[in-house]
Structure 1
Amino acid sequence: MTSDTPALESPQKVDAGQQFIVAVRSLSPEDIEFVRRVLIGMSEQSRYLRFHSPVPIVSDWLCRNVLNPKDFECVTYLAEHHMSDRVEPIGFGQMIETGDGEADLSLAVVDVHQRKGVGHILMSHLIASATMRGWNIIQADVLAENTAAIGAISTWLGSPVSRHTESNRVKLRWHLTA
């Protein structure tokens, strides 16, 4: 993880029937508890769709590896729901450099905040970071059954320039610059 992340915007209002305040900040490898709280807030089905494998238990090992992928530059942002009496982590997004100006994209949002604009806010920060780092090609490996994620990411990034299906996974690629 690097410290040259773009300046974060002030908290944003998200409106999906009810307004709430979401702030986004960078995560560091020490923020394991925030990752754990997001993953626990996801159902087993949502974690399966995110990790392409059953994840019935949210272990320290899993949380550490999400935050600190070995030997790769990455940027990770946390979305927090600001309430009058507390701040609750509700999602995180990550891009991991894979080489030659390419980065792999992943998102995780707690179930009760999915389809409310949280992923969109995270994506805007991730895309700004990717652009700043010269990562022009974004890829995402998504389970074919996860049509909601495929549709949402395509809404944010446009139609993928390539789509390759292998077994039950779809590998999507986008160019950030024309």
Structure 2
Amino acid sequence: MIEIRELHDGEFDVLDTVFEGLSDESRFRRFHAPVRGLTANARRTLAAVDGRRHVAVAAFADGRPVGIARLIADATGVCDLGVEVVDDAQRAGLGARMLREVADLAAAAGHVLVQADVLSTNRAAMRLVLSVFPDAVAFPEGTTTRLVAALPARTSPVACAVPCAA
């Protein structure tokens, strides 16, 4: 059974468990570089979920963290997307489920656009983003492609760590 819930500030244990479940190839696809471990600064940044500028959800399979999707907004309301799913839980639709949930949270917080920088060879990640944002526009930039899409309009209340924007 898969549970998806909002990730909270300082949940280093969830962050670390998901990171450890990624193969070297999955880490490269996610971070666009060979990453053996997260620096202390990267861990702090990725765990600094505030429910407003930085929203994130985590997926759990029988209580074990198996994925995280996050959107971190800049001052203009444009959110950078990051998704990671542990290798043994990939290709089961979990990324799309998390992406829809985190997009709802970001829209409820008042954000308007999402962008994802994806390795141009990472067809699975491109399919994931396009499955949730079929109107995304692709901007190839060398070895990466930036996908840009409007966040969905908020249609129903979403539980937020801080009061949601109306």
Quickly name the TM-score band, shorter chain normalised.
Answer: 0.7 to 0.9
Give the corresponding residue for 2:109.
133
- 1:60 Cα deviation after fit: 4.2
Q: Give the structure 1 partner of residue 139 of structure 2.
A: 164
Distance 1:47 1:146 in 2: 12
Checking the alignment, whether the CA contact within 8 Å between 2:112 and 2:150 is kept in structure 1 is: yes
The residue identity in structure 1 corresponding to 2:65 is P
Q: Deviations over 1:22-44 (max 9, x none)?
A: 11122223211111110110101
Distance 1:53 1:134 in 2: 32
Gaps of 5+ in 1: 1-20
Report sequence identity in percent: 28
Aligned to 2:68: 92
In the alignment, which residue of structure 2 is the partner of 1:121? 97
- The separation in 2 between residues aligned to 1:91 and 1:81, in whole angstroms, is 9
The residue type equivalent to 2:139 in the other structure is: H
Cα 1:175/1:81, change in 2 over 3 Å = same
> Could you tell me the TM-score, scaled by structure 1's length?
0.78
Tell me the equivalent position of 1:33. 13
- 1:68 matched to 2:48: yes
1:42-61 counterparts in 2 under 5 A? 42-61=22-41
Cα-Cα RMSD: 2.0
In 1, distance between residues paired with 2:22 and 2:69? 14
The one-letter amino acid of 2:146's match is K
Kindly state the Cα deviation for residue 63 of structure 1 after the two structures are TM-superposed. Answer: 2.4
- Alignment of 1:112 with 2:88, yes or no, is yes
* Aligned-partner SS, 2:61: strand
Match of 1:102 in 2: 78
- If you compute each CA radius of gyration, which structure gives the higher value, 1 or 2? 1
Alpha-carbon spacing, 1:176–1:30, altered in 2? closer, same or farther (3 Å)? closer
CA 59–40 in structure 1, closer or farther in 2 if over 3 Å, else same: farther
Aligned residues: 152
Query: Which protein is richer in strand relative to its size?
Result: 1
Residue 12 (structure 1) aligns with? none
Other structure's SS at 2:45 match: helix
Please tell me whether the aligned partners of residues 40 and 58 of structure 1 are also in contact (alpha carbons under 8 angstroms).
Answer: no
